[in-house]
């Protein structure tokens, strides 16, 4: 049985909480007694999540924020603390993706995915960490991806940001370990969420694969959320989930074999079908607005 005392009554801030892993984590931590502050760029979605938590007897406040905007991230940190007190647990979950080979990813798209996936979590952590250090208590969770442990062809921008988040989490954990603050890195493989809605595509074949994956493939949001919640009790440094972790293990013992397997899997999924460069440096304004909900 899991000890719920680790989150009972504690103030938890979750980004990307309108749907997917963030929403499932909100429900799981509320069930374990946490007080929640929930943030997402999707105002209606995050308010719905908070409303469902409250309907179940929990405490939740909703905040709409673009994690790619420095001013909004800093404002979020200030408002959350003002409304509900110091944050005990920060779950950096919000994320977006560009699904395209390297040459078909525009400079503006690189800036967008880096701003949300890397700079957003760093800014929010920077804003909230001093209070944790002062109290010598706190827990920071980074929801990255197995694409941050094993390179994903056809998603070069996304995997680059996830590798950055992995490095940030590892270095930060070493830096604050003696100060009473824990850092947990969560790296799931493919999760059945609305990943497509938080992505921009230049690869129709891979999008079709993600929209309709094989029935046996993919983790449930609830499983990832439960394991994340457990990690708050066990203070795990790294949580790796999904059958794709076999590729990570193989990479550590036989890198060339892992490279061959990854290329084969990418070809089967149609990930890197088009290597042609973009004719124009089309930016985010040329693509539909996307939520910041992690895969």
Query: DSSP 3-state assignment of 169?
Result: helix
Check 63, 158, 201, 217 and give the catalytic one: 158
158 is known as an active-site residue: yes
- The secondary structure of residue 293, as a DSSP letter, is -
Q: Which two tokens stand for residue 256?
A: 């060339």
165-210-196-29 Cα dihedral, nearest 10 degrees: -60
**Residues in Cβ contact with 162 at an 8 Å cutoff, skipping those fewer than 6 apart:** 117, 144, 145, 147, 148, 187
- The secondary structure of residue 277, as a DSSP letter, is P
- The secondary structure of residue 8, as a DSSP letter, is T
- The secondary structure of residue 261, as a DSSP letter, is H
Ramachandran category for residue 101: left, alpha or beta (phi over 0 → left; psi -120 to 50 → alpha): beta
Query: Quick count: other Cβ atoms within 10 Å of Cβ 174?
Result: 11
User: What are the residue ranges of helices labelled H in 60-196?
Assistant: 70-84, 107-114, 120-135, 156-176
- Give the DSSP H/E element, type plus range, for residue 20: helix 20-31
Q: Give the pairing of strands 238-241 and 11-15.
A: unpaired
Query: Phi first, then psi: what are they for 170, rounded to 5°?
Result: -65, -45
- Assess contact for 108 and 287: CB atoms under 8 A: no
Catalytic center residues? 158
């Amino acid at each position: 049985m899991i000890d719920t005392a680790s989150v009972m009554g504690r103030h938890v801030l979750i980004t990307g909480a309108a749907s997917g892993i963030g929403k499932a984590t909100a429900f799981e931590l509320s069930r374990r007694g946490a007080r929640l502050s929930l943030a997402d760029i999707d105002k209606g979605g995050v308010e719905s999540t908070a409303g469902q938590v409250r309907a179940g007897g929990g405490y939740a406040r909703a905040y709409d924020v673009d994690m790619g905007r420095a001013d909004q991230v800093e404002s979020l940190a200030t408002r959350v603390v003002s409304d509900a007190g110091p944050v005990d647990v920060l779950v950096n979950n919000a994320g977006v993706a560009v699904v395209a080979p390297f040459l078909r990813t525009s400079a503006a798209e690189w800036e967008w995915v880096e701003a949300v996936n890397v700079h957003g979590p760093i800014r929010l952590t920077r804003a909230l960490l001093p209070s944790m250090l002062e109290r010598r208590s706190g827990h920071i969770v980074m929801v990255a991806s197995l694409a941050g442990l094993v390179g994903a062809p056809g998603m070069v921008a996304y995997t680059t940001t996830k590798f950055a988040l992995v490095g940030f989490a590892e270095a930060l954990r070493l830096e604050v370990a003696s100060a009473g603050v824990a850092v947990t890195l969560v790296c799931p493989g493919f999760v059945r969420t609305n990943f497509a809605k938080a992505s921009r595509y230049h690869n129709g074949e891979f999008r079709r694969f993600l929209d309709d994956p094989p029935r046996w493939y993919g983790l449930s949001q609830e499983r990832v959320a439960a394991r994340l919640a457990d990690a708050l009790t066990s203070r795990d440094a790294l949580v790796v989930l999904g059958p794709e972790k076999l590729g990570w293990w193989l990479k550590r013992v036989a890198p060339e074999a892992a490279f061959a397997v990854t290329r084969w899997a990418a070809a089967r999924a149609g990930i890197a079908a088009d290597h042609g460069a973009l004719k124009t440096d089309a930016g985010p304004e040329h693509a539909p607005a996307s939520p910041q909900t992690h895969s």
